[in-house]
Structure 1
Amino acid sequence: MSRVEDETELNPDGSYDATARVVDPVGDEEERRFEVALRPKRLADFPGQPRVRDQLGLLLEAARRRQRPPDHVLLSGPPGLGKTSLAMIIAAELEQPIRITSGPAIQHAGDLAAILSSLAEGEVLFVDEIHRMARPAEEMLYLAMEDFRVDVVVGKGPGATAIPLELPPFTVVGATTRSGLLPAPLRDRFGFTGHLDFYSAFDLAQILTRNATLLGIDATHQGIAEIAGRSRGTPRIANRLLRRVRDYAQVHGSGVLDLDAARAALALFDVDQSGLDRLDRAVLEALCRRFGGGPVGLSTLAVAVGEEPDTVETVAEPYLVREGYLVRTPRGRAAAALAWTHLGLTAPPTAAGGAIPLPLDDDGVSGRFGD
């Protein structure tokens, strides 16, 4: 909803200005407050990821005892697992301010120099999607992370002069969903690298229970468990489904987020028992029904489902491959036996993931493993 003025200001000649006005939204402020409230503030409150949490705890405690900023931290993993939350927790644990930016926003070395030159001692610089930073800015960041210095170039051509600018010690926290795209020189300058894995249904249920309390949602354990089991191991998806089920319970139910409300709401929003959404099922349907299980190229598969290849590759594929529905082969994407079963179809004997007989010798003994 937007705030719209009821009265129109008339010009002296009796006409009015028909130019479209930009008005401030009033409904998004509540959503932003919810987002802030749902983020854990301390490392002890961060659910799941026990190994990364313990490793970070050791790193931060040692830095506090030395009274120096910790090593630079790189957080990698699929979207929605808590990389931004961990960056904010690092700053909170160090009791230091945090400066937030993103790789796509830093396209020139001058952009990065302006940010670095304004950092205070001990401050945390969080760079989201750091693998998308422009190459000139990456090269400047190398020197800044290692020597806490940047060279500012003044002038152009033969008369250009590089002026070294000393920086106070600070900590860079980088987040990336594709760590393989990071240049080796940049990746090696991070003293700690933590990889975030998908969450278990138990951890997601704990997250949802906590967030339901913060949002004032009356929820049952069965309703929470139903949402957790369909959230694909991702807290961001779990929180989004929690809000949609809350909406359904308030509009069509008794206001209580119970098992019936969760199942009805998730069916309405096309999230099935396995957590597959419309795009996931469209990919499997195209593979099994149109292409006989594949293999089929990514571009052809994307056209068949009406999406861009990047969308299929980055949104649908990771979960489908991880859960065993899809196989990536040198010749393209192929449907695994589980995909056929999920769609209620009979998998052919050659379906990926099915039993593959070993070559046998004449005596019926495996030629590879026989004595």
Structure 2
Amino acid sequence: MVDEGSPEGRSAEPIDEAELAIEGALRPGSLGEFIGQPKVRGQLQLLLDAARIQNRSPDHILLAGPPGLGKTTLAMIVAHESERPLRLSSGPAIQHAGDLAALLSSLVPGEVLFIDEIHRMARSAEEMLYLAMEDFRIDIMVGKGAGATSIPLDLAPFTLVGATTRSGLLPNPLRDRFGFTGHLEFYDDSDLEKVILRSSGMLGVSMPGDARAEIARRSRGTPRIANRLLRRVRDYALVHGEHGSASIAEVRAALELYDVDPIGLDRLDRAVLDTLVRRFRGGPVGLSTLAVAVGEEAETVESVVEPFLVRIGFLGRTPRGRVAMPEAYEHLGLQHPETAALFNDL
């Protein structure tokens, strides 16, 4: 239930081999073990059961949703429950049609090919993928100019599982070739508590219900973040507390040490809010100006920080720029102006 990477797509501390082993161990191995996403789990179960009854490969699957909700884990489960081998790749690694041709031609019959961030593939590779998904063949161009010829190459039947955080960037011809699209939603606190309970048992950490609830509240609706915070709490309890257990006080102390506040905001989130409120009087202010003011790339602010702040009602996006909502002032302990009225007038 944890994808690669870190909260909301941001890069966290470097992950060594031990951390990677922990990440792998925390992943559920079947749909029955997977917590949350009941609709997507039910749809996938039906898809896999029908394919098993008909003794065929499952249809191509597109998994869409924010980072950290379990797209990679679900791809692994599809391969495991289909009893098929799994091949992992990513959109940024496929920057030429030749890259995709080499990957597809090496697949064995029935193999599950997982492409993470599939919307970041090169356009030439996307166009080659259309034919591969539909007819299990590709056309390879040999030569250049008037003397160029197209050589058809048959492929072994395969199941493509694509994952994307921005499904709107996928061209319609590619999106239409997936037999099933699953949209993953953010988790509620009760499901996150179940995730933490399962993971804490596997990590050998016992904690009372209020401690698990505290971690869940600060996890931004994302299992990946919940598991990452749990590991940091485990480390803190190991050093400062009793080995093998963590109290609510130790949870709060650990998360305060790592700059995670009671609703899950971290240092960068608070820097963006504080700069917007104090330096720009709540906005509106352009994205690039805001990014320069906090010393980050505009893309980082837009794709990493803003989605959560918008979701919890702290920040608004307007045609004139970003504005701080009244809830942001309240969270920072400041008296807010009539920002909501400004937002409605734009």
Does structure 1 residue 199 correspond to structure 2 residue 192? no
Which residue does the alignment assign to 2:210? 222
Secondary structure of residue in 2 paired with 1:125: strand
> How far apart are the structure 1 equivalents of 2:52 and 2:284?
54
Which deviates further from its counterpart, 293-302 or 247-256? 247-256
Aligned equivalents of 1:356, 1:30: Cα separation in 2: 50
Give the conservation status (yes or no) of the 8 Å contact 1:327–1:352: no
Higher relative contact order (CA 8 A, sep 6+): 2
Using the TM superposition, give the Cα deviation of residue 327 of structure 1 relative to its aligned residue in structure 2, in angstroms. Answer: 0.6
Larger Rg: 1
User: How many angstroms does 1:32 deviate by?
Assistant: 2.0
1:159 Cα deviation after fit: 2.4
- In structure 2, how many angstroms separate the alpha carbons of the residues matched to 1:237 and 1:102? 22
CA deviation after TM superposition for structure 1 residue 356, in Å: 7.1
Return the TM-score normalized by structure 1: 0.86
Deviates more, 1:93-102 or 1:160-169: 160-169
Q: Choose the corresponding residue for 1:89, options 69, 72, 77.
A: 77
- Over the aligned positions, Cα root-mean-square deviation in angstroms equals 1.6
Answering whether residue 53 of structure 2 is matched by residue 53 of structure 1, we say no
Q: Take 1:277 and 1:29, find their aligned partners in 2: how far apart are those partners?
A: 26
SS of equivalent to 2:130: helix
CA contact (8 A) 2:318 2:343 kept: no
For residue 77 of structure 1, the aligned residue among 65, 72, 75 is: 65
The answer as to 2:109 corresponding to 1:125 is no
* Structure 2 residue aligned with 1:168: 156
Q: CA deviation at 1:160?
A: 2.1
Which residue does the alignment assign to 1:271?
260
Instruction: Give the Cα separation in 1 of the matches to 2:146 and 2:205.
Output: 66
Alignment-derived partner of residue 362 in structure 1: none
Give the Cα separation in 1 of the matches to 2:17 and 2:289. 42
Question: How many angstroms does 1:177 deviate by?
Answer: 0.7
The corresponding residue for 1:187 is 175
**Structure 1 residue runs of 4 or more that deviate by more than 4 Å after TM superposition:** 353-357
Matches of 1:46 and 1:242, distance apart in 2: 18
Question: Within the alignment, does 1:108 sit opposite 2:96 as a pair?
Answer: yes
Give the drift of 1:353: 7.2
Q: Note the C-alpha offset of 1:62.
A: 0.9
2:6 is aligned to none
* Number of the residue aligned with 2:3: none
Q: Give the Cα–Cα distance (whole angstroms) in 2 for the partners of residues 164 and 259 of structure 1.
A: 63
Residue 88 of structure 1 aligns to which amino acid in structure 2? M
Per-residue CA deviations over 1:133-176 (Å, capped at 9, x if unaligned) read: 01111111000001111112222332222111111221100001
In structure 2, the CA distance between the partners of 1:353 and 1:218, relative to structure 1 (3 Å rule), is farther
- Structure 2 alignment gaps of length 5 or more: 1-14
CA distance in 2, matches of 1:308, 1:28: 26
Q: Which moved more, 1:159-168 or 1:96-105?
A: 159-168
Partner residue of 2:128 out of 107, 124, 140: 140
1:254 aligns to 2:220 (yes or no): no
Cα distance in structure 1, aligned partners of 2:304 and 2:95: 25
Measured in 2, the distance between the counterparts of 1:85 and 1:61 equals: 18
Q: Does 1:314 align with 2:303?
A: yes
| Superposition deviation, residue 355 in structure 1 | 11
Question: SS of the residue aligned with 1:44?
Answer: coil
**Paired letter, 1:97:** P
What residue ranges of structure 1 are gaps of 5+ in the alignment?
A: 1-26, 358-371
Matched AA of 1:205: E
The residue type paired with residue 131 of structure 1 is: H
Alpha-carbon distance, 1:354 to partner: 9.0
**By how many angstroms is 1:221 displaced?**
1.8
Which residue identity lines up with residue 295 of structure 1 in the other structure? P
The answer to whether the 8 A contact 2:97-2:125 is kept is: yes
C-alpha separation in 1, matches of 2:142 and 2:106? 18
TM value normalised by structure 2: 0.92
> Structure 2: how far apart are the matches of 1:270 and 1:303?
22
Q: In 2, Cα distance between the equivalents of 1:29 and 1:299?
A: 37
8 A Cα contact 2:323 2:343, kept in partner:
no
Percent of residue pairs bearing the same amino acid type: 68
Please, which of 57, 68, 73 is the counterpart of residue 56 of structure 2?
Answer: 68
* Structure 1 counterpart of 2:4: none
Secondary structure of 1:311 counterpart? helix
